[in-house]
Amino acid sequence: MKNEFTFDELLNRVNTVKVAEGNERVRALSQRIITDLFKTIDEFKVTPDEFWSAINWLNQLGQLGQTGLITAGLGFDRLLDILADEADQKAGLVGGTPRAIEGPLYVAGAPSSKYEARLDDGKMAGETYVMEGVVRGLDGQPLANASLDAWHANEHGMYSHFDPSQAEYNLRRNITTDEQGRYRFRSVIPPGYAIPPTGPVAELFAALGRHGNRPAHIHFLVSAEGKRTLTTQVNIPGDSFLDDDFAFATRDGLVVTLEKVASPAGYESLGISGPFTRIPFDFVLQNAVQADESKHLSRVERALGA
């Protein structure tokens, strides 16, 4: 037994000490990350004050539930999508609506209805829109009984559940497509999103000299029997952050077109009584390769084996 260590001896000891096999993959990944951090601290001469302020920052981040904001802002969420796209390409799984990151603000269990829904509570300021279209397979066939979750921010760029000032499930709904695979919903066009102005995320972005803005967007989780569940977002055209998203999540094929509609005819059941903006959009789902790909699950639900 020897308890005096050099840098290399300590690193080796940390990375190899064990009383059981543990999990081989967890051991390999943590060895790599610990080694990289040891080297970073040494090469950059990280001081104890710097190290402990970073640990305090991490604790704050976790306490505030903002880890998912940091993963998005540092590009990890988009990285996973790029790697998934590359793997799909190699496997010949191409076509359909492109995936886009889920983000940290999904909430399961939104009120559900057949074919149509209203997302806003009638109090949100802004431009009324109806987004509508068909959920299809790659063969173009409409998918009846597909399940579509839609969620977006309010006029202050805030999401219900995370913003206590909003009612439960405000601007969040689930829609089941009708026999022709159609869906439609009414809401108010959201503005962009900005990270909370104070706190650990704002501190890091200030230190990096970066902004924390996302262009206006609407999130979707879409699933159907035998199809691959799609997580995506569409963007509202004209936003100044469209090509400068802090989460690197906007995609070329996902900027919608806005149509001005003068007459509410045909939209009365959504409570529309005057001019509105129509957003036509079809979702195209790939075939599922494995059955569990069809489950209507968010990223964490999937990871935890729901």
Binding site for Fe ion (CB under 5 A): 103
Beta partners for residue 133, in sequence order: 183
Q: Which does 72 bind (CB under 5 to 8 A by kind): Fe ion, ligand MBD, none?
A: ligand MBD
Ranked by CB distance to ligand MBD, the top (closest) residue is 103
Answer yes or no whether residue 272 interacts with ligand MBD by CB under 6 A.
no
Task: Identify the DSSP state of 268.
Answer: G
Answer yes or no whether residue 150 interacts with ligand MBD by CB under 6 A.
no
DSSP element (H, E) containing 185: strand 182-188
Distance CA 116, CA 102 (A): 22
Distance CA 68, CA 57 (A): 14
Nearer to ligand MBD, 119 or 270 (CB): 119
Among 72, 188, 189, 216, binds ligand MBD (CB under 6 A): 72
Min separation Cβ 30 and Fe ion, Å: 31
Distance CA 136, CA 151 (A): 20
One-character DSSP codes across 209-222: T---EE-SEEEEEE
Answer yes or no whether residue 119 interacts with ligand MBD by CB under 6 A.
no
Min separation Cβ 35 and ligand MBD, Å: 30
Nearer to Fe ion, 65 or 266 (CB): 65
Distance CA 292, CA 139 (A): 21
From residue 291, alpha-carbon distances to 230, 287, 288 in Å are 14, 10, 7
Answer yes or no whether residue 254 interacts with ligand MBD by CB under 6 A.
no
Pairing of strands 213-214, 116-118: unpaired
Per CB under 6 A, the segment of 101-109, 132-140, 224-232, 234-242 that binds ligand MBD is 101-109
Residues constituting the chain:
306
Per CB under 6 A, the segment of 98-106, 138-146, 176-184, 270-278 that binds ligand MBD is 98-106
Please tell me the count of residues contacting ligand MBD according to CB under 6 A: 10
Q: Which does 101 bind (CB under 5 to 8 A by kind): ligand MBD, Fe ion, none?
A: ligand MBD
- Cβ burial of 243 (10 Å; 0-12, 13-18, 19+) is exposed
Answer yes or no whether residue 189 interacts with ligand MBD by CB under 6 A.
no
CA-based Rg of the chain, rounded to a whole angstrom?
A: 23
* Through-space distance between the first and last CA atoms of the chain, rounded to whole angstroms: 46
Answer yes or no whether residue 104 interacts with ligand MBD by CB under 6 A.
yes
Per CB under 6 A, the segment of 103-111, 160-168, 282-290, 298-306 that binds ligand MBD is 103-111
Answer yes or no whether residue 247 interacts with ligand MBD by CB under 6 A.
yes
Q: Which does 228 bind (CB under 5 to 8 A by kind): Fe ion, ligand MBD, none?
A: none
Min separation Cβ 82 and ligand MBD, Å: 15
In 199-254, alpha helices (H)? 200-207
Q: Which does 241 bind (CB under 5 to 8 A by kind): ligand MBD, Fe ion, none?
A: none
Nearer to ligand MBD, 37 or 83 (CB): 83
Other beta carbons less than 10 A from residue 239's beta carbon: 19
Q: Token pair 């009584």 is at which residue?
A: 273
Q: Which two tokens stand for residue 179?
A: 């026999």
Residues near ligand MBD (CB under 6 A) are 69, 72, 101, 103-105, 193, 214, 247, 249
